[in-house]
């Protein structure tokens, strides 16, 4: 479980219309229900549960899953975390970043943000239709929102929701965020782009200005939002089943698929090792001169580090330093591999320090 | 013990369901291969191009239908693409990180012609559709209904109705059981079978890889059930009374395999083995078959004392009834001695590994296995199979007899009970066929097929002959059996095969050696 926040009371919700039909958690959670709401705020749990529901539910049946996470940054499947996320800010706040399984860009989650996930058979999947469903739900709460041409939900020109999709042979899902009362200042700090010299092959986020729904109506909060979405979902897909509430700590993480997901997501192989190829040019300046560093990395491993200095005297040592970095994990270089080089030469040590601060990474241990 | 002259013949023939003419397995039969270009399909939603994020396969990797091939990304959608075919990935046309347009080829997959869906746009129907004719089954070895004891082998065997016999209707229970987990079929095929009310158990194993049931098998089953048994629906009977019979599924598979076998340069080597000593050993071994292999174990010889009185005697493993037998035959003894010879000759424990032509080291190689894997040719009512006994050198003669019993039991099931567990893809390195069980043949010239190992041996029927070389010139009556070897001359030399057979002979004709080696 995450410990970087002060524990909040578990949200208790009373749905007056559905009180009689609310079911308690059984020991065995099956993926064959239609509406799931997670009471857990553990992002690893929620994402793994979402994937489990996606892979195990009957292909032909629609499914809705609603959840929210404690503060974290979520990047898309094929994104570059060092480019998308401000690692220094992440480190300072001890907030994790998580790579999700669907595509798209980077978002910030906290308890003021609610996530929705609609799973449908692939043949009948339509992004626009699912976005419209959520839009109608918000309209019933008195806020006028629209869907833009990228199927994002906006108020005016500011986004309140970002979406992403995953499609497999028989099934597809559309999941998205909904900014209800998120700390936008934290969002801004964590998602600040400052690495123009990093050129990456993956997907770049499309940055947009954002705002909270709460600014436009005081009746909207997590509970009212999920009620509205559930209602709209029931109408659209004619679902009468009761809501399935899911708590963590009650055996769901014993489901092997979920457990494996919760182990895989924070691991280096998934979080960093799935980074597509990128090159990063760093141009640090020192009192003794300028250096050009070009790093080429793929799947989180440094393939090549070319360190060029105008001064031919240090060139050889720089080359050695560069070679030592090969096959090391980007951002997690073992200091021992360069120790002898930097101890012998002050300039190499300066370059190494510049590299460390440029490659700053934060690896969260749940 | 009486030495009945007919006995060895009975014992050899008494192997139920054994023996056939030529030795090839449907699993090892290679069909014609076609290179299919798999294109990036329209993902929908107006997406025109995607970036390939990750390939889950590599060139020369084997892929099955519905295995994940790759993951692609288009703006906000991450899409997993699965393979439509079973086959081998030959080339990746778009690398990770590159962009593929919809309609562009993603990769090339080499598929078996048979396994392509008949609706596939890229593929043209085979010129001769396969139709099962009941008549073609008439000549196959009849099945034995009971879980044969060898004594019953001489009794007249009752012929089971063939599943495609129009007079043999499926009953409701079998249709309800049509989705047993032991039947391999793609989900699309199962769905079709369910809709058409076809019991997949009847079709197992199918003509696809690993015995998978294909759509074509379903179609043939349905058309075969309604067809007149004597005349093919394709052509009118000719005036002279000639009847055109289409090749059945298994026989056509044999055709294709034999055409492929023309690639292999065969050479043969025949000799006779003197099995008189084995013959006299047989009754003695039969008297001490371990009790767990007997269905009716004899009473314990101990009455006054009990070996377990101090400490429990380790109990032998429990053995399935299908593995229990009452009498040994020569075949397990031949297999054991063969495995001993194979231990001394690594060449005959190896299989050919073909390297891809793109590899810089494009010479083929031999993969030597640590154990002796021997395949047995098994002729059953459903067709000819070659199940493999793996690590035969680790088996005792009794456990080999149990294995053979079990395999023939499975083979005689209708539908066939052999599964990929008994017929692994890698197969054996030597195949053994007990042709002598069928008739009084002495020698044969068996044929190797790709995947069938480096050599194959056909065992004839044992005969008592007068051997003039023995008995100090007066001669002696000896029991001899003809063995005919064929080997792959690409890897085996004539002299090597001859020497190997002589090595085998030294084990067969001097069975006492097994005692010295503690079997």
Reading chain A (366 residues) residue by residue, the pLDDT tens digits are 434 444 454 444 444 443 333 444 445 788 889 999 999 999 999 999 999 999 999 999 999 999 999 999 999 998 999 999 999 999 999 999 999 998 888 999 999 999 999 999 988 888 899 999 999 999 999 999 999 888 899 998 899 999 999 989 889 999 999 999 999 999 999 997 778 889 888 777 778 899 999 999 888 999 999 999 999 999 999 999 999 999 988 888 888 999 999 999 999 999 999 999 999 999 999 888 889 999 999 999 999 999 988 777 778 888 888 899 999 999 999 889 888 888 888 888 889 999 999 999 998 877
- CB contact (8 A) between residue A105 and residue B82: no
The answer to the question of residue B395 being in a domain is yes
Q: Of A247, A272, A297, which residue constitutes the final position of a domain?
A: A272
Count residue pairs from A and B with Cβ separation < 8 A: 67
B96 and B217 fall within a common domain: no
Residue B200 sits in a domain whose CATH number is 4.10.320.10
Q: Of A222, A252, A272, which residue constitutes the final position of a domain?
A: A272
Q: Spell out the residues 6+ positions from residue A19 whose beta carbon is closer than 8 angstroms to its own.
A: none
Residue in chain A lying closest to B99 (CA):
A201
A265 and A135 fall within a common domain: yes
Residue in chain B lying closest to A172 (CA):
B79
The answer to the question of residue A13 being in a domain is no
B208 and B275 fall within a common domain: no
Residue B81 with chain A: CB contacts under 8 Å: 169
A226 and A334 fall within a common domain: no
The answer to the question of residue A9 being in a domain is no
Nearest chain A Cα distance for residue B55, angstroms: 12
A46 and A158 fall within a common domain: yes
B288 and B348 fall within a common domain: yes
The answer to the question of residue A255 being in a domain is yes
Q: Mark residue A32 as left, alpha or beta (left: phi above 0; alpha: psi -120 to 50; beta: remaining).
A: alpha
The answer to the question of residue B340 being in a domain is yes
Angstrom distances, CA of residue B58 to CA of A242, B90, B425, B501: 46, 8, 20, 42
The answer to the question of residue A268 being in a domain is yes
User: Best residue in A123, A125, A153, A169 to probe B by mutation, most B CBs within 10 Å?
Assistant: A169
Residue in chain B lying closest to A152 (CA):
B76
Which range marks the domain in which residue A125 is found? 35-272
Residues of A with a Cβ under 8 Å from any B Cβ are 76-78, 101-105, 125-127, 150-151, 163-169, 201-203, 274, 276-277
A216 and A333 fall within a common domain: no
Residues of B with a Cβ under 8 Å from any A Cβ are 43-45, 51, 53-54, 66, 71, 73-82, 96-97
Residue A76 with chain B: CB contacts under 8 Å: 76, 78
| Residue among B368, B452, B362 at smallest CA distance from B60 | B362
- CB contact (8 A) between residue B76 and residue A105: yes
- CB contact (8 A) between residue B78 and residue A201: no
| Residue among B246, B242, B251 at smallest CA distance from B233 | B246
Nearest chain B Cα distance for residue A269, angstroms: 14
Residue A43 sits in a domain whose CATH number is 3.30.930.10
B373 and B442 fall within a common domain: yes
Confidence of residue B127 (pLDDT cuts 50, 70, 90): very low
- CB contact (8 A) between residue A127 and residue B45: yes
A217 and A303 fall within a common domain: no
Q: Of B87, B112, B137, which residue constitutes the final position of a domain?
A: B112
In angstroms, the CA A217 to CA A214 distance is 5
Q: Of A229, A255, A272, which residue constitutes the final position of a domain?
A: A272
ipTM of the complex, rounded to two decimals: 0.77
Q: Does residue B117 or residue B80 have the better pLDDT?
A: B80
B202 and B61 fall within a common domain: no
Q: At what angle do helices B215-226 and B187-196 cross, to 10 degrees?
A: 20
**Which member of A78, A163, A168 has the closest CB to residue B80?**
A168
A246 and A209 fall within a common domain: yes
CA distance between the termini of chain B: 25
Domain count, chain B: 3
Residue B66 with chain A: CB contacts under 8 Å: 169
The answer to the question of residue A4 being in a domain is no
Residue A296 sits in a domain whose CATH number is 3.30.390.50
Residue in chain A lying closest to B50 (CA):
A203
- B414: which 2 tokens? 């209708």
Residue in chain A lying closest to B75 (CA):
A104
Residue B96 with chain A: CB contacts under 8 Å: 276
A267 and A326 fall within a common domain: no
- State the CB neighbour count (10 A cutoff) for residue A347: 19
The answer to the question of residue A18 being in a domain is no
- CB contact (8 A) between residue A103 and residue B54: no
B399 and B492 fall within a common domain: yes
In angstroms, the CA A165 to CA A118 distance is 10
Domain count, chain A: 2
Q: What pTM value is reported for the model?
A: 0.51
A202 and A317 fall within a common domain: no
**Which member of B66, B76, B77 has the closest CB to residue A169?**
B66
B286 and B215 fall within a common domain: no
- CB contact (8 A) between residue B77 and residue A165: yes
The answer to the question of residue B10 being in a domain is no
Which range marks the domain in which residue B37 is found? 33-112
The answer to the question of residue A6 being in a domain is no
Nearest chain A Cα distance for residue B100, angstroms: 14
A267 and A335 fall within a common domain: no
A268 and A305 fall within a common domain: no
In angstroms, the CA A46 to CA A38 distance is 7
């Amino acid at each position: 479980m995450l410990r970087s926040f002060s524990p909040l009371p578990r949200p208790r919700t009373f749905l007056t219309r559905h009180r009689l039909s609310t079911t308690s958690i059984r020991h065995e959670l099956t993926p064959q229900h239609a509406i799931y709401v997670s009471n857990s705020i553990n992002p690893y749990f929620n994402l793994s549960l979402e994937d489990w529901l996606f892979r195990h539910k009957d292909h032909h049946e629609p499914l809705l899953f609603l959840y929210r996470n404690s503060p974290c940054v979520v990047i898309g499947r094929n994104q570059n975390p060092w480019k998308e996320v401000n690692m220094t800010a992440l480190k300072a706040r001890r907030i994790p970043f998580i790579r999700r399984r669907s595509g798209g860009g980077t978002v910030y989650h906290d308890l003021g943000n609610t996530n929705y996930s609609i799973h449908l058979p692939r043949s009948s999947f339509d992004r626009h239709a699912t976005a419209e469903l959520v839009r109608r739900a918000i309209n019933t709460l008195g806020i006028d929102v629209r869907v833009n041409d990228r199927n994002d939900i906006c108020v005016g020109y500011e986004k309140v929701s970002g979406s992403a999709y995953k499609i497999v042979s028989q099934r597809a899902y559309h999941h998205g965020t909904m900014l209800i009362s998120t700390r936008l200042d934290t969002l801004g700090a964590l998602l600040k782009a400052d690495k123009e010299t990093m050129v990456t092959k993956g997907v770049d986020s499309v940055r947009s200005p954002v705002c909270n729904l709460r600014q436009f109506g005081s009746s909207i909060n997590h509970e009212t939002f999920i009620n509205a979405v559930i209602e709209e979902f029931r109408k659209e897909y004619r679902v009468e089943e009761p809501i399935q509430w899911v708590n963590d700590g009650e055996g769901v993480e014993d489901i092997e698929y979920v457990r494996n997901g919760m182990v895989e997501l924070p691991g280096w192989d998934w979080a960093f090792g799935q980074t597509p190829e990128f090159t990063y040019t760093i141009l640090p300046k020192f009192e003794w001169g300028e250096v050009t560093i070009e790093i080429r990395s793929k799947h989180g491993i440094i393939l090549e580090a070319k360190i060029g200095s105008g001064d031919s005297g240090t060139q050889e040592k720089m080359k050695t330093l560069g070679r030592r970095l090969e096959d090391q994990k980007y951002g997690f270089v073992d200091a021992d591999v360069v120790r002898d080089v930097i101890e012998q030469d002050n300039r190499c040590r300066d370059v190494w320090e510049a590299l460390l601060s440029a490659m700053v990474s934060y690896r969260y241990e749940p | 013990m009486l030495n009945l002259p007919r006995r060895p013949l009975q014992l050899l023939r008494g192997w139920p369901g054994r023996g056939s003419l030529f030795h090839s397995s449907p699993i090892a039969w290679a069909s014609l291969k076609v290179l299919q270009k798999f294109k990036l399909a329209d993902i929908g939603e107006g997406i025109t191009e995607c970036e390939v994020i990750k390939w889950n396969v590599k060139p020369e990797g084997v892929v099955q239908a519905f295995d994940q091939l790759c993951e692609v990304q288009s703006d906000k959608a991450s899409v997993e693409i699965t393979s439509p075919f079973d086959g081998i990935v030959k080339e990746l046309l778009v690398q990770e990180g590159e962009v593929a347009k919809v309609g562009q080829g993603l990769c090339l997959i080499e598929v078996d012609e048979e396994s392509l869906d008949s609706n596939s746009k890229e593929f043209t129907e085979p010129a001769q559709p396969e139709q099962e004719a009941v008549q073609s089954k008439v000549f196959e070895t009849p099945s034995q209904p009971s879980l044969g004891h060898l004594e019953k082998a001489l009794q007249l065997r009752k012929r089971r109705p063939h599943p495609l016999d129009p007079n043999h209707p499926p009953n409701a229970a079998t249709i309800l059981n049509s989705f047993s987990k032991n039947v391999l079929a793609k989900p699309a095929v199962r769905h079709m079978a369910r809709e058409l009310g076809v019991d997949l158990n009847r079709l197992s194993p199918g003509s696809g890889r690993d015995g998978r049931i294909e759509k074509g098998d379903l179609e043939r089953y349905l058309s075969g059930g309604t067809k007149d048994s004597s005349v093919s629906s394709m052509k009118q009977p000719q005036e002279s009374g000639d009847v055109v019979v289409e090749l059945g599924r298994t026989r056509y598979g044999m055709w294709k395999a034999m055409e492929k076998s023309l690639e292999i340069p065969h050479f043969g080597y025949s000799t006779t083995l003197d099995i008189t000593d084995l013959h006299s050993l047989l009754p003695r071994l039969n008297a001490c078959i371990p009790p767990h292999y007997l269905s009716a174990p004899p009473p314990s010889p101990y009455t006054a004392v009990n070996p377990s009185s101090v400490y429990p005697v380790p109990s032998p493993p429990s053995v399935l009834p299908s593995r229990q037998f009452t009498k040994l035959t020569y075949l397990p003894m031949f297999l054991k001695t063969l495995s001993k010879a194979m231990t001394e000759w690594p060449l005959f424990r190896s299989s050919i590994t073909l390297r891809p032509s793109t590899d810089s080291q494009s010479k083929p190689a031999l993969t030597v296995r640590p154990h002796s894997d021997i395949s047995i040719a098994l002729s059953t009512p459903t067709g000819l199979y070659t199940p493999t006994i793996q690590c035969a050198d680790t088996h005792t003669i009794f456990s080999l007899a149990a294995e053979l019993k079990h395999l023939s039991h499975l083979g005689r099931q209708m539908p066939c009970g052999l599964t990929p567990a008994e017929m692994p893809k890698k197969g054996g390195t030597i195949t053994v066929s007990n042709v002598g069980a069928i008739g009084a043949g002495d020698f044969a010239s068996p044929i190797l097929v790709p995947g069938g190992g480096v050599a194959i041996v056909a065992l004839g029927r044992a005969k008592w002959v007068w051997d003039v070389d023995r008995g100090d010139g007066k001669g002696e009556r000896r029991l001899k059996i003809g063995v005919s070897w064929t080997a792959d001359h690409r890897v085996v030399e004539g002299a090597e095969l001859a020497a190997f057979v002589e090595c085998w002979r030294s084990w067969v004709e001097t069975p006492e050696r097994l005692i010295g080696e503690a079997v």
